[in-house]
Structure 1
Amino acid sequence: MLVGYLGLFVAAFGAATLLPLQSEAVLVGLLLSGQYSLWWLLGIATLGNVLGSLVNWLLGRWVDHFKARRWFPVSARQLDKARGHYARWGHWTLLLSWVPIIGDPLTLVAGVMREPLWRFLLMVSIAKTARYGLVAYLTGPWT
């Protein structure tokens, strides 16, 4: 059983970084097996996903050091556009950090914009808990 929990943590952590991974399928599989605690699965998935988002935040804090390099994957214009959106909507955008495709870059931009760590962790934890809670609810026997 430890392997299942560890696998979910790794999948959730990886899915929250800029890597194209999915953790919901792992969560659903473990839930459907009936061998794991719902609350442990939700806690581990959320913890892994929040810590993966923290990696993005940390990368964002250092992105300015590399933006002038030729290999840097984001143009100055794209970075300024992202900063503009974040400046307009602020930390509330982190409630969308659960959304596929846009959520992970939002956590990176939060680091670029120097979002305070405490508020970043609070907003991302709310979003990620809601995400996995919804997946668990839709997977459960009550649907």
Structure 2
Amino acid sequence: MLALWSLFVSAFISSTIAPGASEAVLAYQVAEQLQPVLILVAVATLGNTLGALTTWWLGSLTAKKFPAEHLLDKHRQKALRWVQHWGYWSLLFSWLPVVGDGLCFAGGWLKLPLFISTVLICVGKLCRYLFVAYWFV
């Protein structure tokens, strides 16, 4: 049970502003067969999705008080333009390092629909974790 919690926390932290190593934690746990692979992938996906939704929510809150152009660093401004152009489909790429956090923040900032944002974020993250698990089974 401790292994699952450590994976969940690592995945959650990895998808917020703080750096993390959820792929490495997942790869280790899959290789050591600590739990069934699908359970490990599900826990990592859930933690990472909830962390991304936290970032989405922070973007939504920030948009109420401050203009994006003055607050966002260069990566997040690029992410904001990307989301403005591609809409909620861009959230499929929320799993990408560096830019993924910015996409989630921008999605919240632009008040993209929460339900579809959640689904697309989850699908992108699930695909990434399935790929990682596949290589370490």
- Judge same fold: TM > 0.5, yes or no: yes
Equivalence for 2:125: 128
Equivalence for 2:72: 74
* Deviating more after overlay: 96-105 vs 125-134: 96-105
Tell me: CA distance 1:134–1:116, structure 2 relative to 1, closer, same or farther (3 Å).
same
Equivalence for 2:37: 38
What is the total number of aligned residue pairs between the two structures?
135
Equivalence for 2:106: 109
SS, match of residue 17 in structure 2: coil
Deviation, 1:138, is 1.2
SS, match of residue 21 in structure 2: coil
In structure 1, C-alpha distance between the alignment counterparts of 2:19 and 2:77, rounded to whole Å: 24
Tell me: CA distance 1:49–1:80, structure 2 relative to 1, closer, same or farther (3 Å).
closer
RMSD: 2.0
In proportion to residue count, which structure has more helix?
2
Point out where structure 1 has 5 or more consecutive residues left out of the alignment.
Answer: none
Deviation, 1:82, is 4.3
CA deviations 1:8-55 (Å, max 9, x no partner) are 000000001011111011001111112211111011000000000010
In structure 2, C-alpha distance between the alignment counterparts of 1:44 and 1:23, rounded to whole Å: 11
Point out where structure 2 has 5 or more consecutive residues left out of the alignment.
Answer: none
CA deviations 1:55-111 (Å, max 9, x no partner) are 00100001134537xxx8526x98765433322111111111111111111001000
SS, match of residue 100 in structure 1: coil
In structure 2, C-alpha distance between the alignment counterparts of 1:122 and 1:83, rounded to whole Å: 19
Amino-acid identity (%):
34
Tell me: CA distance 1:5–1:67, structure 2 relative to 1, closer, same or farther (3 Å).
same
Equivalence for 1:94: 91
Equivalence for 2:14: 15
* Deviating more after overlay: 114-123 vs 82-91: 82-91
Asked if structure 2 preserves the Cα contact closer than 8 Å seen for 1:95 and 1:127, the reply is: yes
Tell me: CA distance 1:109–1:43, structure 2 relative to 1, closer, same or farther (3 Å).
same
Asked if structure 2 preserves the Cα contact closer than 8 Å seen for 1:67 and 1:74, the reply is: no
